Amino acid sequence: MPTGTEGKELYYLTIEEAGRLLRRKELSPVDLTQAYLDRIQAVDGQVHSYLTLLPESALAEARRVEGEIIAGNYRGPLHGIPIGLKDLFDTEGVPTTGGSRVFQDRVPSRDATVVAKLKQAGSILLGKLTMSELAMTGPAGIGEEARNPWNVDHIPGSSSSGSGVAVAAGLCAGALGSDTGGSVRFPASLNGIVGLLPTYGRVSRYGGIPLSWSLDHFGPMTRTVEDAALMLKIIAGHDPLDPTSSAAPVPDYRRALTGDIKGLTIGVLASFYSQYGQSVHPETTAAVEQAVKDLEEMGARVEEVEIPHLEYASIAGVVIYLTEGFACYREVLRTRADDLGDIILRYLYTGGLFTGADYVQAQRVRGLLKREVAQVLKRVDLIAAPATTGPATAFKDFDPLVLLDARRAAASNVFNLVGSPAISVPCGFSEAGLPIGLQLAGRPLDEATVLKVAYAYQQRRPFFKKHPPPSKNWAGPTPWDTAKQRDQDS
């Protein structure tokens, strides 16, 4: 076993740890890739994180990058690192389905910009990961629904479900997800990993299957905050193929990870608890409150803050992304509705019921929230809140139409609306052993401060060192899988 990995399986090395060993030629990219492929073979039959696995091309790429590293052509911290991609990122010559039967035969001719950047950095693609159909919520439209590795009877979070599961279960070193209303942060929180929502425009969205043009964000999902910083540095930056991408310089996020947060001010969303207290699980409340106390003990100043119209964030977000989703898939609804699952059909048809006036009013609320959040972030450096309202729900108890409950996602959805960066970092476990996530959100284009505070907290409370228990025997399909098979048979 390579020096520095004693007592740790290769598939649970962080990107930083593996990258250091690869750079020193103490670890072979081929051995590392094979370790992940073996792990996938052993575990993914229980958790179903991969929709398309690429073992032959992954090993061929591993051999190629090994030659580069041996020759002294080391490209950086992701050179030789095996990763997975949510199956909405275009990959040249590899199916990209959006988790839907509508696109099951779709094979792109070029890579998404983020995929091209990761390739240029020398990463190794293990495969495409399961996701909720068309990045909404609920089940995948093709393949079997991913399961939470901490308890396979529980949901993994939507819609970047496979990405969260694969990173948590040691099935890839890092992954990319998309987030329209929480879809990076939700599965990060429920699977006990780190998920970062970058500023709107910080990361190019070219080559990603869309759900909502004005709310979609792409971001890294990793075991540690440092790994998220490494991935963000690679995928961030202006892209002429995406006119919404920012031309602002991309800093070296790793340099911000000093561990020192003295003098920073953390705002706690007191209104979230007062308005939605009955919706937040008490174990989540306790874990987040303890995390805030930890930050205060580490030298940060803590004060209560208010976003006066936070209660309207979820409904405004729902109106915007369902209206935009309906516009995006209107032709699909007209010609191929039978190839769409029941849940995505309900959401898209709901989007078609909103009027132009509804959409305009939702955008007005969005503008109001932007101003209110900006005012709060003049007083504080970050806003702290739960990443989700509770630990992972059992499949049998989960309602896939939960997005229509305006209380459930307000503290996450609001940062998609205003375009601010936000991160979910593990902050504890429920009595049942299910992960809980702390969300920290900051000023637009200030991912450095978000990462800085999340990293300092992670150093104090290194929950990332705890891994899911060995998967119990798979008990059968989820209720969603059973219903999907019944529909397909009929």
Q: Which domains can be identified in the chain, with CATH numbers?
A: 13-489 (3.90.1300.10)
* Residue 100 falls in the annotated catalytic set: no
Sign (positive or negative) of CA dihedral 305, 462, 12, 237: positive
Q: How far apart are the first and last CA of the chain?
A: 52
What are the residues facing 179 on neighbouring strands?
Answer: 217
CB of 142 within 8 A of CB of 45? Answer: no
CA distance 423 to 220: 10
Residue 207 — pLDDT band, cuts 50, 70, 90?
very high
Q: Average pLDDT of 235-260? A: 97
CB of 5 within 8 A of CB of 13? Answer: yes
CA distance 283 to 198: 27
Q: Are strands 422-429 and 194-197 parallel, antiparallel or unpaired?
A: antiparallel
CB atoms within 10 A of CB 170: 22
CA distance 308 to 77: 42
CA distance 244 to 262: 35
What is the reported pLDDT for 120? Answer: 98
Tokens standing for residue 167:
């990173």
* Residue 204 falls in the annotated catalytic set: no
Q: Average pLDDT of 243-270? A: 96
CA distance 80 to 193: 21
What is the reported pLDDT for 280? Answer: 85
DSSP 3-state of 176: strand
Q: Omega into 159 within 30° of 0, i.e. cis?
A: yes
Task: Please list the alpha-helical segments (H only) found in 48-154.
Answer: 55-70, 113-120
Q: Average pLDDT of 353-364? A: 98
What is the reported pLDDT for 400? Answer: 79
* Residue 274 falls in the annotated catalytic set: no
What is the reported pLDDT for 5? Answer: 58
| Residue of 123, 159, 245, 246 with catalytic role | 159
Q: Average pLDDT of 229-251? A: 98
Residue 471 — pLDDT band, cuts 50, 70, 90?
low
| Residue of 132, 161, 183, 189 with catalytic role | 183
CA distance 208 to 235: 13
What is the reported pLDDT for 286? Answer: 94
Interval 420-465: pLDDT, tens: 999 999 999 999 999 999 999 999 999 999 999 999 999 999 999 9
Poorest-confidence range of 56-65, 172-181, 201-210, 309-318?
309-318
User: What CA–CA distances, in Å, run from 32 to 81, 335, 348, 439, 450?
Assistant: 8, 45, 42, 31, 30
CA distance 87 to 235: 17
Residue 262 — pLDDT band, cuts 50, 70, 90?
very high
Burial 225-242 (b: 16+ CB within 10 A, else e): bbbbbbbbbbbbbebeeb
Evaluate if residue 41 carries a pLDDT over 80. yes
User: What CA–CA distances, in Å, run from 167 to 1, 106, 172, 193, 337?
Assistant: 22, 26, 5, 7, 33
Strand arrangement of the beta sheet that strand 82-86 belongs to? 50-53, 124-129, 82-86, 174-179, 217-222, 194-197, 422-429, 435-441, 382-386, 265-269, 301-305
DSSP 3-state of 388: coil
CB of 80 within 8 A of CB of 22? Answer: yes
What are the residues facing 438 on neighbouring strands?
Answer: 386, 425
CA nearest neighbour of 151 among 488, 489, 478: 478
CA nearest neighbour of 322 among 431, 214, 465, 221: 214
Q: Average pLDDT of 38-61? A: 97
CB neighbour class for 256 (10 Å; exposed up to 12, middle 13-18, buried from 19):
middle
CB neighbour class for 450 (10 Å; exposed up to 12, middle 13-18, buried from 19):
buried
pTM check: above 0.75: yes
Residue 478 — pLDDT band, cuts 50, 70, 90?
low
CA distance 38 to 246: 40
Strands (E), 180-216: 194-197
What is the reported pLDDT for 39? Answer: 97
Residue 279 — pLDDT band, cuts 50, 70, 90?
confident
